[in-house]
Structure 1
Amino acid sequence: MVSIDGLTGLWDRLFGAQPDPPPLLVLLTAAVALVVVSTRLPWRIARNAVTIAHEGGHALAALLTGRRLRGIRLHSDTSGLTLSAGRPTGPGMILTLLAGYLAPPLVGLAGAWLLGGNRITLLLWVAVALLLAMLVMIRNVFGVLSLLVTGGIVLAVSWYASPEVQAVFAYTGVWFLLLGGVRPVLELQRLRGRGRMPESDADQLAGITPLPAFFWVTVFALVNLVTLAVGALLLAGPILTDAGLTL
């Protein structure tokens, strides 16, 4: 049996606040995330995390709007597919299509809020819980492996790593989601311009609303840029305040 002291220690470890990270850590992790997002090979590898958040956003929106979630597939080329059943038009379908490109930076924003309260371990455990919840809806082998590997890495860091390593890992991940939400939108419009994504989320939204696909791409871009700005203020705001700068 687990002792009361053991449960108390686990509770304190999970919900307790960690020490404030050094300002240099916050800035360096932002720089690392920016390099990953901006360079070809690192982005090609790390983009799987953005795809997981993208498809998770579709799935969550489908469930919240009363659609029947049929399954999620993640592919080795970093693409994904979420299938749901319900009305092909209407608010539920619109929100489900909207959620994909908006999900990664919104997840990053939630992470920035937790980091603002120094809840680093809690952030990592919430990430593991979300990955496990998503795992039950995965319908292909690569998707299962992707979630198991990602979740295993996050769990190992949260359980075995020192507070300093946890902080580096968490801040880098949150910065990556905030910054990584912008690049897929740019890629989407570039591919659309070449006629290579006729069934994109934006084009599907154009098909069920009176608004053109470019309008929806613009919505994706504006929301993600605003989310990035707010998230950056949550993460770097204390540094600016300590430096005597006003936001």
Structure 2
Amino acid sequence: MVETVAIASTGDDLSTIFGTIWTASTTALEQPDSRTMLIALAISLILILLRPLWRIARNVITIAHEGGHAVAALLTGRRLSGIQLHSDTSGLTVSYGKTRGFGFWLTCFSGYLAPMLWGLGCAALVSSGYATGALWLLVLLLALMLTRIRNIYGAFCIISVLATVIALSWWGSPPLRLLSATSLAFFLQLGSIRPLLELQSQRAKGQAGRSDADQLAQLTRIPALAWIILWSVLAFLGIALSASWMGLRI
């Protein structure tokens, strides 16, 4: 009898928690004003341009990158084996299937595109007033990704980001949640560009022969540099679109 009451109480608690999350996620906040957007933009640029901070923040871009590979693999019917995140901020997503065709092409192509797309989605939610929803959606995506992580450092990265986002989403004030989601949108999109510059620098030194761009070049006969340029153009288009949605003139 006591156990039944305890179980019921636990169920009620979970129902209350999920109800609170749902209400917060579906309750529209104000759109970010110019001050909030400028602060968010400054935070993003500081994280990207200052090397010591970028060395840490780049892990977030890697998470988005490998998440993009994983989603594309699942959507095209490939068997996803696992994801690894490494301390040098590189990553590896292992999937099985044909090494030619649309599924393999999309899996290779999606990695460098993913941070911009995640940021674009976040910007769409923020501009619609659902900044809190954007944060809780990120919590869900990170939790799902955690089930596919296959190394200790990768688990540490995901759990660290997950704990941070949960804390902001649950205990953060509405202005703080709005600033956090806006900063995340800017960081993911602006931060998607620097790895492309780093990739081309590595390729020029002959140090990235198995990069996504080189695999695409081998698959399609289109030069790797062309893929890097395409990703860069799409990133800038995404930034312009997000800025327009949020009323920031660039």
Distance 2:161 2:74 in 1: 23
Distance 2:195 2:243 in 1: 19
Q: Is the 8 A contact 1:74 1:142 kept in 2?
A: yes
Q: Is the 8 A contact 1:61 1:99 kept in 2?
A: yes
Counterparts of 1:94-105 in structure 2, within 5 Å, are 94-105=105-116
Which residue number corresponds to residue 240 of structure 2?
A: 229
Distance 1:10 1:217 in 2: 39
Q: 1:213 to 1:10 in 2, by over 3 A?
A: closer
- Cα displacement (A) at 1:216: 1.2
Answer with 217-226 or 151-160: which moved more.
Answer: 217-226
- Cα displacement (A) at 1:35: 2.0
Counterparts of 1:118-197 in structure 2, within 5 Å, are 118-197=129-208
- Cα displacement (A) at 1:10: 4.6
Q: Identify unmatched segments of 5+ residues in structure 2.
A: 1-8
Distance 1:52 1:175 in 2: 16
How many residues of Structure 1 are paired with residues of Structure 2 in the alignment? 238
Counterparts of 1:24-103 in structure 2, within 5 Å, are 24-103=35-114
- Amino acid across the alignment from 1:127: L
Q: Aligned-residue CA RMSD in angstroms? A: 1.7
Q: Is the 8 A contact 2:136 2:166 kept in 1?
A: yes
Q: 1:216 to 1:10 in 2, by over 3 A?
A: closer
Which residue number corresponds to residue 23 of structure 1?
A: 34
TM-score by length of 1: 0.92
Q: Identify unmatched segments of 5+ residues in structure 1.
A: 241-246
Distance 1:184 1:135 in 2: 23
SS at match of 2:148: coil
- Cα displacement (A) at 1:11: 3.3
Distance 2:193 2:71 in 1: 21
Q: Is the 8 A contact 1:178 1:231 kept in 2?
A: no
- Amino acid across the alignment from 1:172: S
TM-score by length of 2: 0.90
Percent of residue pairs bearing the same amino acid type: 43
Q: 1:139 to 1:115 in 2, by over 3 A?
A: same
Aligned structure 1 segments of 4 or more residues deviating by more than 4 angstroms = 5-10
